[in-house]
Structure 1
Amino acid sequence: MLLLLLLLLLFLSLSAPSSHSLSQDGLILQQAKLGLADPSNTLANWSGASSSNPCAWTGVSCDPTTSRVVSIDLSNANLFGPFPTVLCRLPHLSYLSLSNNSINSTLPPLSPPPASPSPTSSSPKTSSSAPSPSLPSLPHLSHLDLSSNNFSGHIPPEFARFPALQVLSLTNNLLTGTVPAFLGDLATLTQLNLSYNLFDPGEIPPQIGKLVNLEVLWMAGCNLVGEIPPALFGLKKVVDFDLSEVVQIELFQNGLSGELPPLGWSKLKKLRRFDASLNQLVGFIPDDLWRLPLESLNLFGNRFVGGLQESIALSPNLIELRLFDNQFKGVVPKDLGKNSPLKWLELSNNEFSGEIPAGLCEKGALEELILLNNSFSGGIPVGLGQCRTLTRLRLSDNRLSGDVPAGIWGLPFVYFLDLVGNSLTGKISESISLATNLSGLLISKNRFEGRIPDEIGLVGKLDEFSASDNLLEGPIPGTLVKLTQLGRLDLHNNKLSGEFPIGIEACKKLNELNLADNELSGEIPPELGSLPALNYLFLSGNRFTGKIPLELQNLKLNQFNFSDNRLSGDLPPLYDKEMYRDSFLSNPGLCGDLPDLCPRKDGSKNSGSVWLLRSIFVLAGVVFIVGVVWFYWKYFKYKKAKKGTEKLKWTLTSFHKLGFSEYEILDCLDEDNVIGTGGSGKVYKAVLSNGDAVAVKKLWAGGLKKEECDDMEKGGSSDGGFEAEVETLGKIRHKNIVRLWCCCTTRDCKLLVYEYMPNGSLGDLLHGSKGGLLDWPMRHKIAIDAAEGLSYLHHDCVPPIVHRDVKSNNILLDGEFGARVADFGVAKVVDVVGKGPKSMSVIAGSCGYIAPEYAYTLRVNEKSDIYSFGVVILELVTGKRPIDPEYGEKDLVKWVCTTLDQKGPDHVIDPKLDSCYKEDVCRVLSIGLLCTSPLPINRPSMRKVVKLLQEVCAENNSKSGKKDGKLSPYYHDDVSDHGSVA
């Protein structure tokens, strides 16, 4: 009997359901996992091994009462594969976010997934499609976010069937077709986000106006054309209305045209933000729009006319007003800023006149005031001098007059003060010492007078000081040499006197020095030759005396001028060339081998002896010529016989003074001296007879390129690469650009001779066995050096140059690990600045470094280089290659982003780096992420990148602030006041 009872209990225990078995929702989630690639192991606990309760799994939330899955948030999870349609079997699902992954499906309807999933069943169909008809039929789904993936194809009509959807976000994908009208059937929608897709040109569907519950409508970069339909006035609850475009991504631009609807704006009583910038809209702004209680109005980059209504000044909520690049005219309402916490006002490139409103900062919130290129007159309001919140003040190219309020000079948070091209008077105030954040001081083309105050030397962050074309007098203050961040000093055309300030060699970052057309005297200091970054030097039109220092030959000058002074002596040998002749004119005592540089000294007393000497020289010349002709004729046959055994005739073009011949180079071109092989040829190390070494690139014969993923120069010829590299490098003089000594050519062969870099390329050293040699200070210095080289190409070359193949293998290291940018075989000159990027016929660049928009559009601009340099920064921080099997289908950029979000910076930073540098490494990592932003408009200019890297360097010894190494992303305004990159 006891035995029977035990058997019965055992049977009941076996037949009872296990507490550890998965629920139906858990089985569905497991099957969804089977169809996704998960290289970051985000879904590791979706197996049920760690917990049989799916409510405890990553990204999953459940209803506390029923324990049914109601929310799945897998954003930034680094997932690959098609959309997991099995999720459509979760009947209580109300929230689904797969944003910022690599889901690569299209969006057509699919067959429903199997009805009874199980963890042991075969994996679900990995079709290339995304949401099935069953997704819109989920009765409780209210939030669907599929943004920032790789979804393609049209938005399927089934998307009109969502019964309860409130938020639909499909931004930043590859969707095509036009914006569908059936989205107007989603009556429950409160947010519709479609921005930045590859839509075909199409009009805004009027049916969108039926979404009476809509509060946010984002259709930026949707390739919209035509007029804005009046039907949109049905959106009575809309708060945020954005129809703008990103001008840097040509495929995504909107082309809305015509006038804004004249009536109906008053119906949008809840509208707070309206953005229709960078379109082709014309006409007047409707009166009703001015009267709305807006917080933000962006209409820049159109062709609007007329004036600003007084009613805009009455809005109590106005924070942002950006109307630049239009054709507005008239007077700005005098009460603007008095009734609202105005922060940002940009009215540049219009035809506004009258005075600047006095109360713009009355609420104490104004941060940016940018009014350049208008016809504003009168004085600068006194109230702006008390506006301590100001960070940018740009009033250039107007008709302003009178003295600048003293308080403006010392505003503590202003980092850019631009007053160029007005009729302003007075002196530079001593309160300039209080402007501790000022990096750009531009006051040229005014009527400022008096001395430059000594307090200018206390503005430690000053990067650019331009005060040309004024009436400044007195000596250049000696405190200027304390400005160690100074990159540009332009004081030409003033009345400055005295000598060069002592200690100018301390300004190591000085790139341009223009002191022309003043009354300066004394000798040119030899210390100028020790400024490593100096590329532009203009000292003409002064009273300098003495010799031109030989030390100036150490500079890599792109342009210079010493004319109209009182200089004497011989020219430095490097500059004693006809090409530099105009840079030395009108110096009575300055002599050289250049004809007519020194004035002739003829006189009647010596005329006879001069004639006799000339006759003797002429006779000697005739005898010499006859002798040479006879000698050539005598040995003509001998030379002709030996001609077949002589070396081929080479054409050598030098760009610097050489101490070797082409034949000395040729003797070193054997396989034992090969130090590298790339997409365009082999590189040899040539040791010359004097012991120096050079690097020689021999281009592939026949114009063929070696097909390697590392170069991807498809279809190019060696001739094209040779000409591009010679044309580019031959005229460049910069300490961070590899020096091209000369080029040698024959009919069948082309050689480029560079300075030799003993430590090879950054890529080989960083990713090779010697990567441990590069500690963080060294890596940081390499980043700054390379950034300065690229900044020179983008900002200081005229016209600018785009490298197009920035990568760690094209950054070479000298004996002291100083970095130089190399390999300009695919570089391109940006011929016309301001007319858009230049289109290329093929992709040039290297895998893992190519900017996403470049791969789609083949458009060349500086932003492509900045993205590539951002990848180099990530290499320096992580120690990893740009492409590696461990990333799966992703590259280094996406791997860093997803790993940061999931695991933090400790799992990104190279473990070989000392942990004491963690805070600085994190800051540089933030700069790298900023450079690799998917949207080019968000990437800073190379000049800004240099400054950001230098700021980290300046604070290397300061460990105040966060101690946990947590990443603090940078937020920068690097867009100029005209909508282009500054």
Structure 2
Amino acid sequence: MPPPPPPPSSPSPPPLLFFLCLLLLSATTSFSLNQEGLDLIQAKSTLTDPTGILSDWNHRHDNPCNWTGITCSHSTTVTSIDLSSASLSGPFPAILCRLPSLTTISFYDNSLNSTIPATISACRNLTHLDLSANYFNGLLPSTLTDIPNLISINIQDNELSGEIPRSIGNFRRLETLILTNNLFNGSFPAILSNITTLKELRLAYNYFISGPIPPEFGNLSNIEHLWLSSCGFVGTIPDSFSKLQKLSNLELSYNSLSGPFPTVVFQLKNLYQLELFNNSLSGELPKRAWSNLTALRLFDASVNSFTGTIPVELCRLPLESLALSDNNLEGLVPESLARSPNLYDLRLFDNFLIGPLPSDLGNNSPLQTLDVSFNQLFGELPTSLCEKGQLFDLVLIGNSFSGELPAILGECKSLGRVRLSKNKFSGEIPGGIWGLPHVYLLDLAENLFSGNISSMISGGFNLSSILISGNSFSGNIPDEIGSLSNLVELMASDNKFSGVIPATLFKLNNLGTLDLSENDISGQIPVEIQSLKQLNELNLANNKLSGEIPDEIGNLPVLNYLDLSGNSFFGEIPSGLENLMLNTLNLSNNRLSGKIPSAYSKQVYRDSFLGNPNLCGEFTHRCPENQRAKNNHNLWLLRFIFIFAAIVFIVGVVWFVFKYRNIKKTKEPVSISKWRSFHKLGFSEFEIIHRLNEGNVIGSGASGKVYKAILSNGEAVAVKKLWERSIKKENETNLNGDGSQKDEFESEVETLGKIRHKNIVRLWCCCKSGNSKLLVYEYMPNGSLGDLLHSSKGRLLEWPMRFKILLDAAEGLSYLHHDCVPPIVHRDVKSNNILLDEEYGARIADFGVAKFIKPTNKGAESMSVIAGSRGYIAPEYAYTLRVNEKSDIYSFGVVILELVTGRKPVDQAFGERDLATWVHATVNQKGHDHVLDPELEYESNDQICKVLDIGLLCISPLPINRPSMRTVVNLLQEAVADGKPKPTMNDGKASPYYDSSDQASLV
């Protein structure tokens, strides 16, 4: 039987039909993303996203509720968008207002840089809007009030300008309005008093026209937090504020309020924080009406002029923090203050208070900070200060406290800073105080203490500064001090210490200052002193040291202060000292002999060798003559022949070695990579490599060493050799604007390789050899401005020279800011980075942390870490990590203050303040003459005061108030020309440092 026929085959689909099916399937997949997702993708297309944070906003993820920054309701509709700190830039994406259920938008801390569009009113259901810390500019749109349900608006830290629209008073549900730190001007918006639902209003740091606080603000019956610092207010707080019974925090600092203390605040029953500093309030603190004030968290009336005594009624309140510093208060510290159960912060420094501290202070409250420095207080310390075990800051400088320290303080493990200098304390220090585990600063100087340093000091492993000069401590310096690995400063002069310098002291690798002068220390200086590679100051004057001065002192790379006077050192001055770059040298009143080294045969060292009768040199003219040589010509002839033969032999040996090395170089060349030169050079890279020895070190810091190299053509250059660990560290933290990494070497090469200016240090070339990275600069024979100004040579810097240095440095910075494309921000402007040539011409140096500021960044650029030096860093940079040219201008202002006052940017004399704060406060209270360098007393006072005013403008706390560097150059030139600097007012707003009668906002 035949097999059945096969079934008929089905026809294959036509190719066109197959293609259409695929297209339909693809379309179905694409359209699976809902309309909200499509709107979000369109919004993404208007933004620049350098970090890729919006990478999951795409068609492959069909549910936008799972996208970064998106929150949805249960019905899968978008209700919230939070893209804070996402590094986004571009305009505000108004298309987001198409999302029907959107209630919250937050773009906090990005770089959005357009105007806020009027179409934002289309976000009809929005309740919370946060656009703070961006670069929005232009006007605040009046259409915001068309969003009926808005509860919170935060647009602080932007560049919005113009007047605040009157329509903003139409909000009916708004509870929070924050417009701090913008450029708003015009009249203060009293219309805001119509928003009676407001609980928090912040308008601080804008540029409103000066005027009184609107009394209509008394209508804000629900207000709890009112921040109106630096809003141009004059007069006093209106009586209508008595109606603000829910107000808990009132901040009115940096205005021009005047008159007596505003007693209306005592009627605010819920007020716990009051800030009135930097106004012009005066008179006595009221002694009545305090009973209604339930608590006062911060009462800082600094830079006012309050007089009288501290009201006893104030001290009966449940205070947490009381700060009445920098006033003219007198009388006793009330005993009732000790009964405040919540008091943890008490700051009364810089007044005229007298008498003892309250006997129970600290017994009833968790006291953490006590600072009563620079008063006229006396008596013994209360034993209860650390009763609650929380005391961290104990600062009593400049009083007349007496008696012994309470032994209980030795058990106060919470202490971190102890400053008791310039008092009349006596007796022995309780042993436990030496070894407190968290104390990093122990300042007992200028008292009447006696006894030994306890061996318990080994427990103080956090100690970085020990200041015990001017006491009667005795005995040996204990070996245990060598276990303090964090110790940077040991000041123990003018005591009765005896014995030898302990060998363990030379294990302290971080020690920068060692002052043991005016004691009875004997023995020799151990050669191990060469291990203190960070030692900057060594003072062993007026002891009983003997022996020869060790040549190894010359191996200390950063030593610039050396005083060994008043001892019994003998022998010759070691040749190793010629390796040092000393600003101060004093070897007088010893028993030294021989010849003064040529490096110190200069006028500036003329008094450095007095009282050494056997020394000979240019200053003494006592070099003994060889009489026998004069009388015996035959002996001279023999010596001449012998010397001539020796010279011929030495020259031959040197020639042979030189030739041998040249031949060896041709056979085994040094490995050099990435050699780049930026100028026509008369030397080779091999010359640089072979001159980097320890004998040529002229400086050392956190990033590496600096060598002085004398080349074969006689030219001197400075070579910076970067530490390998510094390079690695920079690689981890130093980011370009595009997110790529850039180390300090590349940053400096990139910056200096592209710029040419007479006031910018010249980078000759750079190279990499193995793991070493070298930067070769022109050599600056007069070192840095900081070293010169703050050394004994500072008195030689007369005003014309100081002014010339300032003008040179200003022109260099102006070039970086205004003539470079893109502009360059130095980020570490300080006196130590201003170098001086042989004519004392100034040049800006050290561009290791410099940044190019992109033209697209209209405001400050965000950094990953803070760069700069203490005392020079602008406030906004330290707080926000945002940097622009204004940060450099603040730092340059501090340099101006250094040159005018002769003081360092950070000094113990300022207490907890820095130079900028001290100058500002002193000028406001006492006038210009009280801050000027006494070395300039015979100089041109009017011109110096004009330059001081320019410096104060540069350190304005608000960046917008600081003049540009181009303006600074013009102001300096005008100051020396024919008149006052010309004030240019910024929208009628004066700097917070001055009232309108001063040269305030020179911009």
Task: Give the shorter-chain TM-score range.
Answer: 0.5 to 0.7
Q: 1:37 to 1:591 in 2, by over 3 A?
A: same
Q: 1:443 to 1:477 in 2, by over 3 A?
A: same
Quick check: 1:572 aligned with 2:591? no
In 1, are the aligned partners of 2:312 and 2:334 still within 8 Å (CA)?
yes
In 2, are the aligned partners of 1:842 and 1:858 still within 8 Å (CA)?
no
Per-residue displacement from partner, 1:690-716 (whole Å, max 9, x unpaired)? 943599xxxxxxxxxxxxxxxxxxxxx
Structure 2 counterpart of 1:741, one-letter code: K
In 2, are the aligned partners of 1:330 and 1:353 still within 8 Å (CA)?
yes
Quote the Cα distance in structure 2 between the aligned partners of 1:530 and 1:18: 72
In 2, are the aligned partners of 1:499 and 1:521 still within 8 Å (CA)?
yes
* 1:182 partner SS: helix
In 2, are the aligned partners of 1:378 and 1:402 still within 8 Å (CA)?
yes
Match of 2:586 among 577, 583, 586: 583
In 1, are the aligned partners of 2:252 and 2:276 still within 8 Å (CA)?
yes
In 1, are the aligned partners of 2:335 and 2:358 still within 8 Å (CA)?
yes
In 1, are the aligned partners of 2:140 and 2:165 still within 8 Å (CA)?
no
Per-residue displacement from partner, 1:777-819 (whole Å, max 9, x unpaired)? xx99x99xx9xxxxxxxxxxxxxxxxx999x999999988699
**582-591 vs 737-746, which deviates more?**
737-746
Q: CA deviation at 1:375?
A: 1.0
Q: CA deviation at 1:572?
A: 0.9
Quote the Cα distance in structure 1 between the aligned partners of 2:778 and 2:581: 29
Structure 1 counterpart of 2:191, one-letter code: F
Q: CA deviation at 1:460?
A: 1.2
Per-residue displacement from partner, 1:546-586 (whole Å, max 9, x unpaired)? 11111111113211111111111111124479989961111
In 1, are the aligned partners of 2:561 and 2:583 still within 8 Å (CA)?
no
How well do the aligned residues superpose, as a CA RMSD in angstroms? 5.8
Q: CA deviation at 1:232?
A: 3.8
Match of 2:708 among 736, 741, 752: 741
Q: 1:306 to 1:582 in 2, by over 3 A?
A: same
Quote the Cα distance in structure 1 between the aligned partners of 2:774 and 2:407: 44
Number of paired residues? Answer: 749
Quote the Cα distance in structure 1 between the aligned partners of 2:485 and 2:723: 29
In 2, are the aligned partners of 1:353 and 1:374 still within 8 Å (CA)?
yes
Quick check: 1:81 aligned with 2:90? yes
In 1, are the aligned partners of 2:373 and 2:398 still within 8 Å (CA)?
yes
Quick check: 1:413 aligned with 2:414? yes
In 2, are the aligned partners of 1:369 and 1:394 still within 8 Å (CA)?
yes
Q: CA deviation at 1:409?
A: 3.1
Q: Which residue of 2 aligns with 1:753?
A: 717
In 2, are the aligned partners of 1:305 and 1:329 still within 8 Å (CA)?
yes
Structure 2 counterpart of 1:170, one-letter code: L
Quote the Cα distance in structure 2 between the aligned partners of 1:578 and 1:68: 71
* 1:258 partner SS: strand
Q: 1:558 to 1:581 in 2, by over 3 A?
A: closer
Quote the Cα distance in structure 2 between the aligned partners of 1:238 and 1:613: 92
Quote the Cα distance in structure 2 between the aligned partners of 1:239 and 1:201: 26
Per-residue displacement from partner, 1:154-205 (whole Å, max 9, x unpaired)? 4333333323211112334454556433322322211112334566666544
* 2:552 partner SS: helix
Quote the Cα distance in structure 2 between the aligned partners of 1:841 and 1:137: 51
Quick check: 1:598 aligned with 2:598? no
1:372-451 mapped onto 2 (5 Å cutoff): 372-432=373-433, 434-451=435-452
Q: Give the TM-score normalised by the residue count of structure 2.
A: 0.62
Quick check: 1:192 aligned with 2:168? no
Structure 1 counterpart of 2:586, one-letter code: S
1:515-530 mapped onto 2 (5 Å cutoff): 515-530=516-531
> Percent of aligned pairs with the same residue?
27
**217-226 vs 500-509, which deviates more?**
217-226
In 2, are the aligned partners of 1:215 and 1:239 still within 8 Å (CA)?
yes
Quote the Cα distance in structure 2 between the aligned partners of 1:377 and 1:347: 15
Quote the Cα distance in structure 2 between the aligned partners of 1:110 and 1:300: 45
Match of 1:39 among 50, 54, 58: 50
Match of 1:299 among 298, 301, 320: 301
Task: Tell which has more relative contact order, 1 or 2 (C-alpha 8 A, sep 6+).
Answer: 1
1:20-99 mapped onto 2 (5 Å cutoff): 32-44=43-55, 50-51=61-62, 58-61=68-71, 71-87=80-96, 94-99=103-108
Q: CA deviation at 1:404?
A: 0.5
1:607-626 mapped onto 2 (5 Å cutoff): none
1:310-325 mapped onto 2 (5 Å cutoff): 310-316=312-318, 318-325=319-326
* 2:193 partner SS: helix
Q: Which residue of 2 aligns with 1:283?
A: 283
Q: CA deviation at 1:381?
A: 0.6
Quote the Cα distance in structure 1 between the aligned partners of 2:691 and 2:302: 58
Quote the Cα distance in structure 1 between the aligned partners of 2:371 and 2:672: 58
Quote the Cα distance in structure 2 between the aligned partners of 1:403 and 1:104: 62
In 1, are the aligned partners of 2:83 and 2:106 still within 8 Å (CA)?
yes
Q: Which residue of 2 aligns with 1:238?
A: 247
Structure 2 counterpart of 1:376, one-letter code: L
Quote the Cα distance in structure 1 between the aligned partners of 2:827 and 2:65: 44
Quote the Cα distance in structure 2 between the aligned partners of 1:518 and 1:104: 64
Q: Which residue of 1 aligns with 2:150?
A: 141
Quote the Cα distance in structure 2 between the aligned partners of 1:262 and 1:690: 71
* 2:315 partner SS: helix
Quick check: 1:169 aligned with 2:171? no
* 1:37 partner SS: coil
In 2, are the aligned partners of 1:104 and 1:152 still within 8 Å (CA)?
no
In 1, are the aligned partners of 2:208 and 2:232 still within 8 Å (CA)?
yes
Quote the Cα distance in structure 1 between the aligned partners of 2:390 and 2:315: 20
In 1, are the aligned partners of 2:708 and 2:779 still within 8 Å (CA)?
no
Q: 1:55 to 1:407 in 2, by over 3 A?
A: same
Quote the Cα distance in structure 2 between the aligned partners of 1:674 and 1:100: 42
Quote the Cα distance in structure 2 between the aligned partners of 1:197 and 1:810: 47
Q: 1:29 to 1:532 in 2, by over 3 A?
A: same
Quote the Cα distance in structure 2 between the aligned partners of 1:596 and 1:896: 53
Q: Which residue of 1 aligns with 2:220?
A: 211
In 2, are the aligned partners of 1:348 and 1:978 still within 8 Å (CA)?
no
Q: 1:761 to 1:49 in 2, by over 3 A?
A: closer
Structure 2 counterpart of 1:282, one-letter code: S
Q: 1:434 to 1:108 in 2, by over 3 A?
A: same
Q: Which residue of 1 aligns with 2:878?
A: 936
Quote the Cα distance in structure 2 between the aligned partners of 1:238 and 1:436: 42
In 2, are the aligned partners of 1:351 and 1:374 still within 8 Å (CA)?
yes
**165-174 vs 481-490, which deviates more?**
165-174
Quote the Cα distance in structure 2 between the aligned partners of 1:581 and 1:859: 25
Unaligned 5+ runs, structure 2: 1-24, 125-134, 598-608, 617-622, 634-657, 663-670, 736-741, 749-758, 791-801, 835-843, 883-909, 918-1003
Q: Give the TM-score normalised by the residue count of structure 1.
A: 0.63
Quote the Cα distance in structure 1 between the aligned partners of 2:169 and 2:785: 48
Q: 1:159 to 1:814 in 2, by over 3 A?
A: farther
Quote the Cα distance in structure 2 between the aligned partners of 1:495 and 1:384: 31
Quote the Cα distance in structure 2 between the aligned partners of 1:395 and 1:853: 47
Structure 1 counterpart of 2:48, one-letter code: A
Q: 1:884 to 1:110 in 2, by over 3 A?
A: same
Q: CA deviation at 1:618?
A: 13
Quote the Cα distance in structure 2 between the aligned partners of 1:442 and 1:475: 20
Structure 1 counterpart of 2:721, one-letter code: M
Quote the Cα distance in structure 1 between the aligned partners of 2:309 and 2:718: 59
Quote the Cα distance in structure 2 between the aligned partners of 1:488 and 1:45: 54
Q: Which residue of 2 aligns with 1:486?
A: 487
* 2:418 partner SS: strand
Q: Which residue of 1 aligns with 2:327?
A: 326
Per-residue displacement from partner, 1:26-46 (whole Å, max 9, x unpaired)? 676565545433334444555
Structure 1 counterpart of 2:878, one-letter code: P
